[in-house]
Amino acid sequence: MRDQTMPTAAPHPEEMRAEMELRVGSSTVLRTSARATPAGLIAAGILVSAVLLSTAALVRAARDRSR
């Protein structure tokens, strides 16, 4: 299989990168990479918080309704 790389955008000055290569046996190789910026991590944290808060509100409403 040919090495296919995706073109990447210009790097952000505070960008964090991670790359991983996993070999399984002698013929299988799994490669992955990830990029993140501080702003992206904050945005993901806000989204997770919103989902958890809305789930808590739904559980509370369902519990109050069953009483």
Asked if 17 and 33 count as a contact pair (C-beta separation under 8 A), the reply is: yes
How much is the pLDDT for 22? 94
Instruction: State how far the Cα of 18 lies from the Cα of 57, in Å rounded to an integer.
Output: 36
Domain annotation covers residue 58: yes
- List per-residue pLDDT tens for the chain, 67 residues long: 556 666 666 667 888 899 999 999 888 999 999 989 999 999 999 999 999 999 999 999 998 887 7
Domain annotation covers residue 64: yes
How much is the pLDDT for 10? 67
How much is the pLDDT for 3? 62
Domain annotation covers residue 44: yes
- Nearest Cα neighbor of 35 from 9, 8, 12, 17 is 17
Domain annotation covers residue 26: no
Domain that holds residue 48: 38-67
How much is the pLDDT for 9? 67
How much is the pLDDT for 47? 97
How does DSSP classify residue 61?
H
